[in-house]
A and B are shown apart, each in its own frame.
Chain A
Amino acid sequence: MNRLYKKTVGLTLLAGLFLGCGVAAAKEFLVGVEIPLTGSLARVGAGMNEGISVAVDIFNKTNGKHTIKTIVIDDESAPAKAIAAVEKLASQEVVAISGGYGSNNIAPASDAANKLGLPYITSGGVDDSLVARGYKTFFRINNTVGYQKAMVGLIDALKVKSASIVYSTKEATANLAKDVEKELTTKGFKVGMHAFDPAITDFKPIINKIKLQDKPEVILMCGYENDYVGILRAAKVLKPKVKAMIGVWSLATAKMAADFPDLMPWVYGTALLPFPAEFKTADGKLFAETYQKLYNKEPDYLGQFGYVQSLLLFEAIARAADNDTLHKGGVAEELRKTDRETLVGRVQFNDKGDNINFVHRMGQHQNGKIGIVWPSEAANAKPNFPAVPW
């Protein structure tokens, strides 16, 4: 006990010294990364983490003045461990936190960060309740509305009038499906809703219902990779007479094109960038090169989001350091002033920390490539419509 006590006192003194010296001398800043690397969210967490590492690499090479070092803690996809991770990071003197996946982990983690006065930026939680709290320290670059706008936007552009939505009963997918349903119904669409339990593997009975009862023009899929594979396989077998298969996240990716080449043709999904990536901006080119160098593969959307959220944070830290407001809430202040074009479009935060400009783009699998087909100003390809994988 005595040793622990000494240690605590020591740490406190050390922290005091640090604060007393000010930050002008220290040029390397610690940033915490709280992210799921094991458990149910391991895959998406790992993807986001790659983007964060790329952001560190790029920031340190390009900023010239400041450098960033990250401390990564696996939250094991568990809320209590996400809280502990944030608190451990705080005790290690990080200036802000990047990361988090799943609203149930992000909510308590950002709550803990808020209590400790640490800015928290993420792209892993689209639930509206996250921003409804109105924290001054919470920021996110994407939201359900952005996905909804993209899905409905594409459907409008394709000029169809009926749709069936197949969606997982998980939080993010169910929310999105219901929001899309609401909007489509008010537009006079005929919408069929089909919720499925995440444990389901055989989708033929659902697709058959859609084929024989709903008879929609398009099928919308709100799920995750394993769900898409199941749905598309079932659809390929049953061949419902639809004009398009439209999904959301994790679908219009290079990985899916490579892993499931005969399921993906002409399938739509949200995508930030075409594949092979065509980066028009210098920023984008640098990102793709660095990603290739570090991980020897094409960047995916998780990496892109992780990269953008982290780079915005690092830049805010650098600005706060220059203004000498780093420990006076300057990072959150600088983040709120963010207004810049990024890989995910223009980013500006409202007073609740939500990115007001976020609108996702829709891509389509086209001959092993992914073309951006909506919105028209970002498009590099024309949608092939009607077209399905079978």
Chain B
Amino acid sequence: MLELILQALFSGVLQGGSYALIALGLALVFGTMKVINLAHGELVLLAAYIAYTVESSLGVNPVFAIPLALLIVCAAAVLVYFLVDLIRQDRELNSLLLTYGIAIILTNAIQLIWSADIRSTGSAWFQEPVVIGPLYSMRSELVFFVVSLALMTGLWWWLSRSWYGRAVRAVSSQRDAAKLMGVNPRKTELVSFIVASILASFAGVALFSYGVIQPSYGHVLTVKAFIITVLAGMGSIPGVLVGALLLGVTEALTVTLASSALQELAGMCLFLLVLFVMPNGLFGAAGRRG
């Protein structure tokens, strides 16, 4: 039993690392713009499909798709930003509907371009098992877990040290005060959108390398990312990591201790529980209640 639980914890942590990468972008944009980009999961999926195209047409490891994915996903994200920026009234709710519409467009476009077949990497190197004592994982999971941690550290450094990073944080916490201090909030929002799309590109390539993708999967990713953002509390990078790990571990333990049919239920219940008990998330400041 102990061995089972250990493996479940390990699997859950690895899964959590990949969830974190997906959720970070959503949390960042939500922090600066108070906009939940419901097309975020589709952007991640887009990067994953680009990785598929690169792997299948050039026969190279999917990580080489990252530059191309960055280019296309960033362009798409900038487009989303400008559309959101066009909203004139009640941005908080209208942006939700707008990005929902974009998500529908992207899902169908992906299906038209890449068909409904399931895709996953054929790279044998990525699928090799790695065994650490009693713990088992796939190489791709470990690799991208490390990448995810590195990106998070980089992001944390950027937010706390660089000028733009500080501006993003300033806009997140006190938009009006930031404006007075000479920060252009619109420019900052655009920057946060671009950083989010960089994270989404990596997340997408990672997803293709350890999981299976299909066109309808984007919605699932967005919901997972949102759950983690809620668990984290607004704009908290460590919060996103902790929230993602918590979700991953909860799911894995549900499978081990109860039934795998209840995994999704456990995730949703965790989400609601945190909303009720700690409405500001694990690390967030006040402001979620209406």
Contacts and interface: CB of A to CB of B under 8 A. Distances in A.
A132 interface: no
A262 B111 CA distance: 26
Interface in A228-282: 229-230, 233, 236-239, 255, 259-263
Contacts of B129: 236-239
Interface string B110-122: 0100011111101
B176 interface: no
Chain A binding surface SS class: helix
A212 B5 CA distance: 11
A204 B252 CA distance: 9
A194 B260 contact: yes
Contacts of B15: 201-202
Contact of A225 (B118, B260, B264): B118
A42 interface: yes
Contact of B138 (A200, A206, A237, A261): A237
B133 to A, nearest CB: 14
Contact of A204 (B7, B108, B118): B7
B8 A260 contact: no
Interface residues of A, number: 36
B68 interface: no
Contact of A202 (B11, B118, B259): B11
Interface stretch (B39-47, B210-218, B280-288): B210-218
Contact of A206 (B3, B116, B215, B255): B255
B64 to A, nearest CB: 19
Interface string B121-138: 010100101000000111
A259 B104 CA distance: 28
Contacts of B214: 43, 226
Nearest to B8: A205
A263 B124 CA distance: 9
Given A42-B215, A208-B8, A226-B212, 6 more contacts: A38-B111, A199-B263, A201-B15, A201-B212, A233-B138, A259-B122
18 contacts: A40-B216, A43-B118, A46-B115, A196-B255, A197-B263, A197-B264, A202-B252, A204-B11, A204-B137, A205-B7, A205-B252, A205-B255, A212-B4, A226-B212, A230-B212, A237-B136, A260-B120, A262-B124
Interface of B: 3-4, 7-8, 11, 15, 108, 111, 115-120, 122, 124, 127, 129, 136-138, 211-212, 214-216, 220, 251-252, 255-256, 259-265
Interface of A: 38, 40, 42-43, 46, 169, 194-197, 199-202, 204-206, 208-209, 212-213, 225-226, 229-230, 233, 236-239, 255, 259-263
